[in-house]
Amino acid sequence: MQLKNMSLLQTQLYINGQWQDAATSRQFAINNPADNRHITDVADGAGDDTLAAIASAKSALPAWKSKTANERAIILRRWYELMMDNQDDLATILSTEQGKPLAEAKGEIAYGASYVQWFAEEARRIEGDIIAPPSNDKRLMVIKQPVGVVTSITPWNFPNAMLARKAAPALAAGCTFVAKPASETPLSALALAVLAEEAGIPAGVFNVVCGSDSAAIGQAMTDSPSVNKLSFTGSTAVGKNLLAQCATTVKKTSMELGGNAPFIVFDDADIEAAIAGLMNSKFRNAGQTCVCTNRVYVQSGIYDQFIEGLTSAMKALKVGPATESSVDIGPLIHRKAVDKVQELIDSAIANGAVLSYQAKLEEMGSNNFYPPTLLTNVGPEMAICQDEIFGPVVAVQRFNDEEDAVAAANNTEAGLAAYFYTQDIARTWRVGEALEYGIVGINEGLISNAMAPFGGVKQSGFGREGSKYGLDDYLEIKYLCLGGLA
């Protein structure tokens, strides 16, 4: 991999400001999903390395939380600037290990950095309250203090942004941090550690432990009484296990789990805008995002016109490796992901779905690519409507009635993102309020930014990332009662 700044390509663990091998000296391989080529080997951290990182975060905590909010804000601002200064290199690292097209990878770097910028600003707005007392000899005050040592576990689909949007509010609040990136994509996290050091984040405040035994690292984090909080982004199944593990030490948790996003197009929608919105919400990162549209509901009056427009938009998509310019869709993360998408499609077709369109792919460097695919006549009981597809597949159902569409959209355990298109203002409010989701895109397919609260309800988890609410997840409320004032 060629970078302007080769020091960003690190392969060791970053603990207490030191780059070091795993305690076992073991390493594991990182491969490029576009051609299955070996990129490099990375230190294979495990339980002991995690405990060392937690110890360093604990000893760095008193000095970091004693800094003024302004001092922390200046350091975080510098981290943000360094991310943007190194945007091209960070994007190259990201797309090489993860597969997303280079332009999309650059977008993710700017998106991740925007959380660091936002929370550098929010650090100065940690405020308490004075409460009217029940008697005149008392004064009641509320202050907010950092939660303490925070650990994070993040997925491969946004190797930069999922980490940045946890580390930034944690550090802004005065917490110290131990990150465990996904084992497919640790290089982006290690590159962030290089820039953290350069930005002046003190040793022990931000640590990275990567490793192939995620269960061992997770267990060390959840068992440790020194860890005050676990912030997790990933699948609902793993999130549930980690929640149970955190119960033994009653840790605070934030859980950003899987989604099953509905996308409803009403007869009164602007059809072109709805197709553009669906293309954005479905095909980003080859369909591998938690807010990707999973189930499409189209009202009967515009159904044929919508399917026709959607098919021609899908025909324009270009699939290929990240390095090729003008590519819209890269490979899926690995072969298992391709097999899972194929199984969902085969099972849907066996149960009556119709393969309305599937692109033909040329020979690629690996067999991890999947063609854009359109399924119609899909039914709610099919696995493709219940599981996250995590691939470039659109699964469409037809509906007649608004109430039925909303009920069908809500008929899932997930509650992360939902989308709908209408030009009727009353329907906008009615449906917006009725959808049981943490995020609702109305006439919009791209909903995530640092200013807005990102997070789910139901089994998509809890906690909010970004926005003025995002700092609260990393702050404790303390009530001070001052008596004897009579």
Residues recognised as catalytic: 256, 290
**Residues in the chain, total:** 486
Distances (CA, A) of 484 to 128, 129, 133, 137: 22, 20, 12, 6
Nearest approach, Cβ of 215 to ligand NAP (angstroms)? 4
Residue owning tokens 């495990």: 46
Residue owning tokens 């702050």: 475
**Binding test (CB under 6 A) with ligand NAP, winner from 290, 322, 341, 385:** 290
Binders of ligand NAP in range 450-479 (CB under 6 A): 456, 460
Binders of ligand NAP in range 183-222 (CB under 6 A): 183-184, 214-215, 218
Name the token pair of 82: 């360094």
Q: Nearer Cβ to ligand NAP, position 58 or 166?
A: 166
CB of 446 closer than 8 Å to CB of 279: no
Binders of ligand NAP in range 161-190 (CB under 6 A): 162, 182-184
Q: Is 259 in the site for ligand NAP (CB under 6 A)?
A: yes
CB of 466 closer than 8 Å to CB of 451: yes
Using DSSP's 3-state secondary structure scheme, residue 13 falls into: strand
Contacts of 25 by beta carbon, 8 Å cutoff, 6+ apart: none
Binders of ligand NAP in range 76-105 (CB under 6 A): none
Q: In what order do the strands lie in the sheet with 149-153?
A: 18-20, 13-15, 206-208, 176-180, 149-153, 229-233, 252-256, 461-462
Nearest approach, Cβ of 466 to ligand NAP (angstroms)? 10
Gyration radius of the chain's alpha carbons: 23
Distances (CA, A) of 302 to 274, 306, 408, 422, 459: 11, 6, 19, 12, 33
Q: Nearer Cβ to ligand NAP, position 9 or 42?
A: 42
The span of 70-78, 126-134, 153-161, 351-359 binding ligand NAP (CB under 6 A) equals 153-161
Nearest approach, Cβ of 413 to ligand NAP (angstroms)? 12
Q: Nearer Cβ to ligand NAP, position 46 or 238?
A: 238
Nearest approach, Cβ of 12 to ligand NAP (angstroms)? 17
The span of 35-43, 117-125, 257-265, 268-276 binding ligand NAP (CB under 6 A) equals 257-265
Nearest approach, Cβ of 422 to ligand NAP (angstroms)? 26
Contacts of 151 by beta carbon, 8 Å cutoff, 6+ apart: 54, 177, 178, 179, 180, 221, 227, 229, 230, 231
Q: Nearer Cβ to ligand NAP, position 174 or 456?
A: 456
**Binding test (CB under 6 A) with ligand NAP, winner from 57, 190, 238, 275:** 238
The span of 58-66, 115-123, 156-164, 405-413 binding ligand NAP (CB under 6 A) equals 156-164
Q: What are phi and psi of 176, to 5 degrees?
A: -110, 165
Q: Nearer Cβ to ligand NAP, position 310 or 332?
A: 332
**Binding test (CB under 6 A) with ligand NAP, winner from 96, 157, 281, 299:** 157
Nearest approach, Cβ of 47 to ligand NAP (angstroms)? 12
Residue type, 263: F
Q: Is 235 in the site for ligand NAP (CB under 6 A)?
A: yes
Q: Which residues of 345-371 are buried (b: 16+ CB within 10 A; e: fewer)?
A: beebbeeebeebbebeeeeebbebbbb
Total interface residues for ligand NAP by CB under 6 A: 28
Distance CA 113, CA 107 (A): 10
**Binding test (CB under 6 A) with ligand NAP, winner from 116, 257, 382, 440:** 257
Residues that bind ligand NAP (CB under 6 A): 153-158, 162, 182-184, 214-215, 218, 233-235, 238, 241-242, 256-259, 290, 388, 416, 456, 460
